[in-house]
Structure formats: C-alpha cells, structure tokens
Amino acid sequence: MTSRWVVLKFGGTSVASARNWGRIAARVTELHAEGKRVWIVASALSQVSNRLEQAVEEALGNREPASLGWIQGRHIELAGEIGLSVTAYEPVKELLEELGQLLEGVRLTREASPRLHARIMSFGELASTQLGIAALGHHGLHGQRVDARDLLISTEVDGQQPADRFVQAQVDPVRNVLAAEAASDACSLVLTQGFIARTPRGETCLLGRGGSDTSAALFAHLIGAESLEIWTDVHGMFSTDPRQLPTARLIRQISYREAQELAAMGAKVLHPRCLGPAAEGGIPIEIRNTMDPEARGTRIGPSLSDDAAVMAVVMREGVTLLNISTLRMWGTPGFLAKVFAPFAELGISVDLVATSQSAVSVTLDGVPGGTGGEPFRRLEERLKLLGEVTTREDTAVVSIVGRRIRTVLHKLGPAFAVFREHEVHLVSESSEDLNVSFVVGQQDARTLVDRLHDQLLPKQGSDELFGPSWELLTSKQRRIETAEAPKPWWHARQAELLDLVSDGQSRYVYDLATVRAQAHGLRQHLTAVGGLYYAMKANWNAEVLRTIAAEGLGIECVSAAEIKLVRELLGDAIPILFTPNFCPLDEYAVAFEHGADVTLDGPHLIDLAPELFRGRELGVRVDPGGGLGHHEKVVTAGAQAKFGHPVADVAEVVRAAAEVGATVTGLHSHVGSGILDPDSWGRTLQGLLAVRDQLPDLRWIDVGGGLGVVERAGQQALDLAAVNLRLAELAAELGDIELRMEPGRYLVSEGGVLLAPVTQVRRKGEVRFVGLATGMNSLIRPALYGAWHGIHNLSRLDADPDGYWHVVGPICETGDVLGRDRLLPSTEAGDVLLIENAGAYGRVMASRYNLREPAAEVVLTV
C-alpha cells in the first residue's frame, strides 16, 4: 500500500459522544475517498483522566470508590449511546474490572508508586479506544486497534526524577514506518491511544497531562504522515482562552515555534511538546473543532511571516516564585552557576529568570512532588547556603506572546496602565523576542489577561493572522443553547417597545414590575438589615419612587431638593436619610426641618456652623480606607476620596458634637459601587463595630449601598443570602443598634432600558459604526466610567450577529460611544437598539449637551 497516512487526534470531548464518533467516521470516510490512510489517536473520554487521578486518591485514603463508579458509568453510558452489544462491550468491561483490581491493590497497600499510577491512568485511553473501534465499526469502518505502547518507547533523560520517568516521560521522535506498517496490518484505518507509551523496560508510562497531542505528533513522525489534524472542542489556537474571554480571536496560521511558545505560556489547547516532532518531521498541523467540522481552524507550519505582531495574551496558574538574595555574593564570578547547580541536580526545571547583582528570581512551573515534596525541600536547603530564600506559591505568569515583540513595545504603553492596581513580582522578556511575561498574584491574573487582551488585540477586521472571535464563531450555537434560558423582561415586550419609539425619538423605558421585584427581593433576603433606604440619586422618577416606597423602603437623599421631592411625592411619614457631601450649609437646615437623619462628613462642619448643629442627633460618615467599585471614579473611600472622616479619628467628631450639645447617634460608611463580592458589607460592618465604643449614643449603623447587578456575561450575580449571612453573624455585636443599607442601582438598574433608533450605519476602513439618535447626552456612564451596558438590536432579536460594531451617538465628542466592538446582527438605519441596565444613573445624569434633548421617560405600569 503506497498511499500516505494522515494522523487525526481526537481529544476528550471529541470522543465522548456517539454523535462525535459519527463525525470522526465522516472525516475518515472523506479522507479515504481522497485515497488517504488514516491513523487516529484518541484521548480518554473527557474528565476520565481527572477521575482516574481522583480514584487513586480515594483508594489511598480508603475512601468510597466514587470515581471508579463514575468512570464505569460513563463508559456504559457511551456504549449504550453507540448501541454496543453485550459482547462488543466485553473487552471494555474487562479493562474496567482490571482497573478496579489495581485500585483495590492501592487501597489495601495504601501505596501508589509512580509506576502503578501510570498504569492506572492508562486505562482511560485503553478503554476509550476499545469503545471507539466498535463505534467506527457501526459506521462500517473496520480498523485495527493498535497498542500505542508497542510503538512509542521512552528515553531516559539525565537528572530526571524517577517519578517523572513514569508520568512525564519523554519519547524521542523516530521514523519507523516498517514497525507501524506491521502494527497496522496493512489496513487503511488505525485507532490507537494518546498519552501512553512504554519505558525501555516495558513498563507503561505517560507523556504528561494533555500529552495525547504529543503522541499524535510522534505517530505522525513515525509513519511519515503527510499531515496531522488535532480535533478538539474549539476551532484552534486563540489569542487567549476563548472560554474565559469570548472576544478571543482565532489565530489562522502560525509557525511551529510560535505555537510552541503559546502552548508553553498557557494556551492549553496544545501540549507544548507536540510541536517538536511535527516540526522535525516537517508535518503540517491543523487544529479543528469536532463540533463544527466545516469551519477552518489554525494551521501550524514553518514560519511564513516575520511581521511584528502581538498574537496572544495567555496565563499559567499555580506557579512558584523563588527569590534568592545575598549581599555576600555581590559581583562574585560564578554566582549564577552556583544558584542553578542544585536545580539541575534535583531535576527541577526553571521557567522564567530575572537577575540582579545580588539576587536571582526564578519561577518554577511544576515541581516534581510539589512544593511540599522532598526535591523542593532539598532545593531550598541547598539554596539557603547561598543566601536568603523566599518562596511565593500563589502566583501566575501572564504573558504577551507575539512576533518580534520588542518592536511592538510602544503599543504596550496604554496597556501598562492596568498594572496600576496589580503588583508585579517579576518581569521577563524572552531572549527570542517572542514574549513578555509578568509574574503576578494568582487572584490578579485573570483580570490582567482580560484587560491586556482588550487593549492589545484587534476585535474587528480579518487578516492573515486573525480570523473571527470565539463569540462570533459560536453565536448561532449559543443562541440555540440559551433559547430556554430565562430572558430579561423586555424580550416579551418587543413589539410594544418598538412602538414606543416609532416616532424616531429615543426613550428611557422603566418596568415597574422589575423594580418592585428587586425591592421585594432585598426585603426578603436582607433580614439582618433593619432599615433599607433607596438611594434616590440613581433614579428619581416619581413612579419609580412610589413603587419602591410602597415596598417599605425609606429614602436616602443627597440634596435638599431631593428631600423636598420625597416629602412632596411620598408624604411626611417616610424615613429619610440625608448623606450629602460638600453641600451648602443651608441644606442641612432643610433636612432637619423635614425630619431627616443627617450625616456629616467630618467635624469641620460643626466648627463652621455650630448653631446649625446645636443639640442635634447627628450621623457621621467615616472613611474606612481602601474602597471598592467598578471604576476608580465610583470608589468612595481611601485617602484621595472626598467622602467621610478617617475612621480612626471618629472621636474628633464626637468631641466637636459635644461642644455644641449634639450627640453622634449614627455611623455611616459607603465604600463604592457595583460591588458583587458578598463579603464587602460584612467587612465594612466589622470595621465600624471596632469604633462603636467611642460612640456611646449610637442608634444606627449604615454599611452603605453599592450592591451590584450583573452587567455582562460571566459575572456572578450578588448572592443576597450570603450578604445577609455575613451581616447576621455580627448581629450579636450590634445589640439594639439598627443596621441600615442604602441600595440604589440594585433596585432600578435592570428595570430600565434606553431605546435608541439607528440613524445611520457606516464603515470606515475596517471599522463599522452604528449611529444612534442619542448618545452621551442621555447615557453618560460609558463615557464617564467606561461602564459596560449590554446592547441589542431590538428590531432583530432573533438574528445571528454578523460581526463587531462601535455603537455611537450624535454628540460632538470622541467619547460619545455607548459600546465599543459590540456583536450585533447586520443593522440598518431605522432599526432600534436597546441599551440594557439603563434604569440607574441613566436619565438622572443626562444633559442637554450640544442642545440635544436627552431621551424622555416612559413608565410601564403593567
């Protein structure tokens, strides 16, 4: 047989359903029709390798063998889906029984050597290929199941830890077409396992987690395949993990070296070791999506372009940072050699390095035995002889990967602003000019990747390097998947809403039922809170105020005019909290006159107008330091914020009050806005309780508002029950002091939308714009805070998006952009766009800038 082989590798998700085996069969049939022979390398069913690791842990701990049960169930389920007969299932059953026996051995001896561990892990791939050969048979494809261990033999590497020989084995690419021919029995379809190989002594070993890609490249080299296709659950390599950031762009074409860099720096879609054998054999690789087999993926081959470019922003978690510093060694020759010697001897590989005259910092990615293990302990011991050693485990490496990255450093300028809030422990630039990496705290890594990606990678336009984004590639599928998910209120009212703006004017529309439901939810969940005050600055529409008041909330006001409006609309009985900031003094008089609880920002006010405050009950707003929020402009605490008196100096207010016969009966604090961390208010309360001894007359404590709502996909809604729990835990310390909160956005944001007719659409170069009848004159939040509002084409709710658009208004300001790079369907003048979450800080912040009237308000009462 002379026709050439094509190697197809299918990952965990790709082999986990009968439907996918149908897709695999279709690809084989296609290639056979082109006269090609097909060599398939399969992974274990998705999650099975993880479960095997857990099964070992369970056996070692003599725990319930839940994972083994799960694994057996998973295989039986797939066998059923494929329609396997009992006889055909028998070999799988035997394998799983053998697995059970090995695990039982581990349980009895409470020992799992790396050798045994490798054997146990190999069952994932052994079983999946057993099911696979039967599945292909059902599609009329009769292939040969080859044991990968007969063809891939590991090499022993100097200094390699014994454990690594079994679980991180290295296999050198060899060309041995004859052996493969013999194993394939001259047939045109082979199915073999990824991940597993044999040591020269004949024991089962593994190529490291995710190593099936490397198996595939090794087989491709071995049989001199003409190409290698890696079939997985995404379309290819993306500019960042598409499941974390849906705006990730598909990389159409890159070189082996660049792909290796990306994989090594964190693009988990490929095992970094697979690029070597493919490059050595000159075998082109294509990554493709099993679930979308028609789509083009990423092609990897020899270098094609030398154009400088940022290609991706990726991250690796679980990195250990080690710092060795000494002044004794200053300038001594051979210091570096001494530092690195123990790493080599103990088989611990170093990842990033930064050096100074007297210190060396390195990162370690995967220490054999972990940082609790023997090799690491010995490493520390050895290094301590050289200088002071410090270790940080909770770090991550964020890397900007590209081509000739030094020449694009200037582009990083604005992106570097993101480091304002993130401490960087180490910066390194690769000597090959392929990446710049930052070691940061693990908790900061995700946001950092998102922000750097946002700033460095283009969202629009398509070229040699970048194809569509993940969200664009999958939008149709997502729409089908989310068809059943609950929709926001406005979905059901599409026709009615379109009618409201048929005159071409923009409108704010409020749905009172949603506002009522939010208020009700707060009352129901926040049982630890005695006084809920609606921060009416968020939206003072009369109907909105009435709705919230009817749910039993008080009102928080920040100006005399707000107080007067409340009394006029809602009467004298409703409680008012007055928390102004730098306001004219006569407004305090208005507040007292209307029976409001009044809060001061500091003792300076009493000094300014002692008579105004004489004999009064006063609240004091304190600044606990720190501060939280969705943008620096909404963080209301910390040294530079204009609000509140330092909490440590609260006694100064008590003293100033006493001098005018006033008492401090309230303590208030508000740290910021749009907060989704449920612990925030409990923390504030704890801080405030620390000073309560200095306030003998205290009647109430207000822990502020700032309760956030979900504004974009992927955010976790605020867990009100958790908020309440944290507050309730401190209830005993409160005694009869009333706990208060003052939510604004939470009550009204989701109940309001801005409807804006499209006046024009245009393309300028690669960029498309949708122009609306209104812009920052109606909704200033995007321009002011960079706030993100979901934007939808209300006229075409069911249409699939066709690409990215900048959504802009008619105001003569570059910043008049309501949304940048928004995924929208093909949009035309006359359509109506809907801007979500516009009920809070929308109309109330509007202006007549450019003498353009902002959108008027419409209230839906039913």
Q: Which residues here bind ligand ASP, judged by CB under 6 A? A: 11-12, 43-44, 49, 124, 194-195, 209-212
DSSP states of 724-746: HHHHHTTHHHHTTPEEEE--SHH
Specify the residue, 241 or 511, whose C-beta has the smaller distance to ligand ADP: 241
If DSSP codes are grouped into helix, strand and coil, which group holds residue 797?
coil
Q: Which does 240 bind (CB under 5 to 8 A by kind): Mg ion, ligand ADP, ligand ASP, none?
A: ligand ADP
Residue 700 contacts residue 667 (beta carbons within 8 Å): yes
Q: Which does 209 bind (CB under 5 to 8 A by kind): Mg ion, ligand ADP, ligand ASP, none?
A: ligand ASP
Question: Which of 205, 557, 583, 812 is the catalytic position?
Answer: 812
Specify the residue, 168 or 724, whose C-beta has the smaller distance to ligand ASP: 168
Buried b (16+ CB within 10 A) or exposed e, 756-783: bbbeebeeeeebbebbbbbbbbbbbbbb
Which residue has its beta carbon closest to Mg ion? 210
Q: Which does 644 bind (CB under 5 to 8 A by kind): ligand ASP, ligand ADP, Mg ion, none?
A: none
Tell me the HSE value of 638 on the side-chain side, using a 13 A CA sphere. 13
Q: Which does 138 bind (CB under 5 to 8 A by kind): Mg ion, ligand ASP, ligand ADP, none?
A: none
353 Cβ contact list (under 8 Å, min separation 6): 360, 361, 362, 428
As given in the structure block, the two tokens for residue 650 are: 């609260």
Residue 413 Cβ vs ligand ADP, minimum distance, rounded to whole Å: 24
Specify the residue, 11 or 682, whose C-beta has the smaller distance to Mg ion: 11
Using CB under 6 A, which residues numbered 310 to 349 contact ligand ADP? 312, 314
Specify the residue, 11 or 644, whose C-beta has the smaller distance to ligand ASP: 11
DSSP states of 668-736: E----SSB--TTHHHHHHHHHHTTGGG-TT--EEE----B----STTPPPP-HHHHHHHHHTTHHHHTT
Q: Cβ atoms within 10 A of the Cβ of 159, count?
A: 12
839 binds Mg ion (CB under 5 A): no
Buried b (16+ CB within 10 A) or exposed e, 526-558: bebbebbbbbbbbbbbeebbebbbebebbbbbb
Among the residue ranges 8-16, 437-445, 707-715, 844-852, the one whose residues contact Mg ion (CB under 5 A):
8-16
Report how far residue 597's alpha carbon sits from residue 857's, in angstroms, rounded to the nearest whole number. Answer: 31
375 binds ligand ADP (CB under 6 A): no
Residue 812 annotated in active site: yes
Buried b (16+ CB within 10 A) or exposed e, 121-154: bbbbbbbbbbbbbbbbeeeebebbbbebbebbbb
As given in the structure block, the two tokens for residue 603 are: 């003792």
Please select the residue that binds ligand ADP; options are 4, 110, 243, 479, rule is CB under 6 A: 243
627 binds Mg ion (CB under 5 A): no
Residues paired with residue 392 on neighbouring β-strands, in sequence order: 321
If DSSP codes are grouped into helix, strand and coil, which group holds residue 268?
coil
Specify the residue, 268 or 699, whose C-beta has the smaller distance to ligand ADP: 268
Specify the residue, 249 or 852, whose C-beta has the smaller distance to ligand ADP: 249
Specify the residue, 55 or 656, whose C-beta has the smaller distance to ligand ASP: 55
Residue 234 Cβ vs ligand ADP, minimum distance, rounded to whole Å: 5
Q: Which does 211 bind (CB under 5 to 8 A by kind): ligand ASP, ligand ADP, Mg ion, none?
A: ligand ASP
Q: Which amino acid is at 653?
A: V
If DSSP codes are grouped into helix, strand and coil, which group holds residue 332?
coil
272 binds Mg ion (CB under 5 A): no
Q: Which amino acid is at 550?
A: A
Specify the residue, 210 or 704, whose C-beta has the smaller distance to Mg ion: 210
Report angle CA 604, 605, 608 to the nearest 5 degrees: 90
If DSSP codes are grouped into helix, strand and coil, which group holds residue 41?
strand
Report how far residue 352's alpha carbon sits from residue 373's, in angstroms, rounded to the nearest whole number. Answer: 21
Phi, psi for 98 (deg, rounded to 5): -60, -40
Q: Which does 124 bind (CB under 5 to 8 A by kind): ligand ADP, ligand ASP, Mg ion, none?
A: ligand ASP
Residues 14-53: x where in contact with ligand ADP by CB under 6 A, - otherwise, as a string: x----------------------------x----------
Residue 213 Cβ vs Mg ion, minimum distance, rounded to whole Å: 6
State the number of binding residues for Mg ion (CB under 5 A): 2
Q: Which does 126 bind (CB under 5 to 8 A by kind): Mg ion, ligand ADP, ligand ASP, none?
A: none
Report how far residue 646's alpha carbon sits from residue 640's, in angstroms, rounded to the nearest whole number. Answer: 11
Q: Which does 314 bind (CB under 5 to 8 A by kind): ligand ADP, Mg ion, ligand ASP, none?
A: ligand ADP
Tell me the HSE value of 201 on the side-chain side, using a 13 A CA sphere. 6
Report how far residue 99's alpha carbon sits from residue 91's, in angstroms, rounded to the nearest whole number. Answer: 12
Among the residue ranges 69-77, 112-120, 241-249, 758-766, the one whose residues contact ligand ADP (CB under 6 A):
241-249
265 binds ligand ADP (CB under 6 A): no
Among the residue ranges 143-151, 206-214, 398-406, 833-841, the one whose residues contact Mg ion (CB under 5 A):
206-214
Q: Which does 195 bind (CB under 5 to 8 A by kind): ligand ASP, Mg ion, ligand ADP, none?
A: ligand ASP
Residues 208-247: x where in contact with Mg ion by CB under 5 A, - otherwise, as a string: --x-------------------------------------
Please select the residue that binds ligand ADP; options are 11, 674, 705, 854, rule is CB under 6 A: 11
Residue 124 Cβ vs ligand ASP, minimum distance, rounded to whole Å: 5
- The backbone region for 633, taken as left when phi is positive above 0, alpha when psi lies in -120 to 50, beta otherwise, is alpha
Specify the residue, 269 or 379, whose C-beta has the smaller distance to ligand ASP: 269
Please select the residue that binds ligand ADP; options are 114, 173, 210, 819, rule is CB under 6 A: 210
Indicate which residues carry an active-site annotation: 812
Summarize as ranges the residues that interact with ligand ADP (CB under 6 A): 11-14, 43, 210, 232-234, 237-238, 240-243, 267-269, 312, 314
